[in-house]
């Protein structure tokens, strides 16, 4: 199957399954009720939308296994499949029974560890900033821990941005397509297995087929099933594809391509540490919440964040073919722009905290929302 056929197959299957999932979730009363302070929806919405994405992704990939002679099942594919099973079980259980955070962490770590152990895919290098285009090989244990941490973080990052209708699904489409195109322009594209672009285009097609049912006003939610699955897949595929390149630039491409979820989860962890709150405790100060506090509607906020995703994606694509010296210039510009954007979004929060000399105003602002 060609890439276009894979995308279309995944899209059509997901689009066709969504009404069935909606009917099933309503019949079983597996719904997302607007109970939490940070929830923006006002009516119950069916969950388990991730099942449509997982099934369409799996069937389109299986089609390649049957009809595409270039698609070969390797240990990397098997490792990813095992991780997907674990993360999908966690997602379904959470959507139905609302698991405690510690139980979800156990599932997520188990999925990451199993995938890395079986596939052997690891972040094996880091860039030595004091040299020109030099990579330093990481010890095996450090490489293993770093890879598990990366997968765990991205799995949660896609879940964290799943606070507005269509945001995580649209971000998945943009990020997976970005990494798909990057695989063809990088200097050492020959190192990438044929299965990487196939899995990425299948994932983008599945998320795109789901998006019409998830865009505001949403008829179906991803739930933990879909948010964890999409984040997990992109995290693992970025390691198995781009991050294993023998080039310093390639190590940073996934960070740029997934700029929005990476930035949001980094800010969330930092914010909760500063406010002395549990890392797993949610709040209403994510990037999309701050935009809505500025007066934007849910649709406009999501469209703006889509645009940011696209800018990050185009930047990652352009950087993937750059030389080391020019890359650092572009990367520095990205960091500066991100810093300015964060300052603008969080300036009211920072100003009030500075004025009062503590972080109590942050909690007061959240309680008033």
Contact 222, 169 (CB under 8 A): yes
- pLDDT recorded at residue 162: 81
Mean pLDDT in each 10-residue stretch from start to end of the chain (369 residues)? 90 96 93 67 84 96 91 91 97 93 95 95 68 68 92 90 88 93 70 81 97 92 94 92 60 78 78 68 70 80 89 83 59 68 60 49 44
- pLDDT recorded at residue 343: 64
**Pairing relationship of beta strands 45-46 and 135-137 according to DSSP bridges:** unpaired
What are the phi and psi torsion angles at 148 (to 5°)?
Answer: -60, -40
The tens digit of pLDDT for each residue in 128-157 reads 554 555 567 778 899 899 899 999 999 998
Q: How far apart are CA 4 and CA 9, in angstroms?
A: 9
Residue 88: exposed, middle, or buried by beta-carbon count in 10 A (0-12, 13-18, 19+)?
Answer: buried
Stated pTM of the model = 0.84
Q: How far apart are CA 271 and CA 358, in angstroms?
A: 13
SS3 (DSSP) at 46: strand
SS3 (DSSP) at 33: coil
Q: Is the peptide bond before 217 cis (omega within 30 degrees of 0)?
A: yes
Overall residue count recorded for the chain in this entry: 369
Closest CA to 83 of 152, 158, 161, 139: 152
**Rounded mean pLDDT of the chain?**
81
- pLDDT recorded at residue 358: 45
Q: How far apart are CA 34 and CA 288, in angstroms?
A: 17
- pLDDT recorded at residue 151: 94
């Amino acid at each position: 199957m060609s890439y276009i056929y894979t995308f279309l197959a995944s899209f059509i299957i997901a689009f066709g399954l969504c009404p069935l999932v909606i009917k099933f979730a309503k019949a079983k009363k597996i719904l997302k009720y607007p109970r939490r302070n940070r929830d923006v929806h006002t009516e119950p919405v069916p969950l388990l939308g991730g099942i449509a994405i997982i099934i369409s992704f799996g069937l389109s990939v299986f089609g390649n296994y049957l009809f595409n002679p270039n698609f070969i099942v390797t240990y990397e594919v098997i490792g990813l499949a095992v991780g997907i099973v674990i993360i999908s079980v966690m997602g379904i259980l959470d959507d139905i029974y609302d698991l405690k955070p510690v139980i979800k962490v156990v599932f997520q770590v188990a999925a990451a560890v199993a995938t890395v152990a079986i596939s052997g895919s690891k972040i094996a290098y880091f860039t030595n900033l004091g040299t020109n285009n030099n990579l330093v090989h990481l010890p095996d244990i450090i490489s293993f821990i770093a890879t598990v941490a990366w997968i765990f973080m991205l799995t949660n990052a896609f879940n964290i941005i799943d606070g507005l209708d269509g945001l995580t699904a649209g971000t998945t489409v943009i990020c997976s397509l970005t990494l798909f195109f990057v695989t063809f322009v990088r200097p050492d594209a020959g190192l990438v297995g044929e299965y990487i672009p196939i899995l990425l285009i299948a994932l983008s097609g599945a998320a795109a087929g789901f998006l019409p049912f998830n865009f505001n006003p949403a008829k179906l939610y991803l739930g933990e099933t879909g948010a964890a699955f999409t984040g997990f897949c992109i995290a693992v595929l970025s390691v198995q594809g781009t991050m294993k390149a023998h080039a310093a630039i390639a190590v940073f491409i996934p960070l740029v391509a997934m700029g929005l979820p990476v930035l949001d989860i980094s800010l969330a962890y930092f914010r909760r540490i500063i406010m002395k709150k549990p890392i797993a405790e949610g709040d209403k100060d994510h990037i999309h919440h701050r935009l809505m506090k500025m007066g934007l509607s849910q649709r406009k906020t999501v469209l703006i964040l889509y645009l940011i995703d696209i800018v990050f994606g185009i930047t990652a694509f352009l950087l993937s073919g750059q030389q080391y010296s020019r890359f650092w210039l572009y990367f520095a510009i990205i960091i500066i722009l991100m810093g300015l954007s964060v300052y603008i979004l969080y300036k009211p929060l920072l100003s009030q905290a500075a004025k009062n000399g503590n972080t109590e105003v942050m909690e007061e602002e959240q309680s008033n929302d």
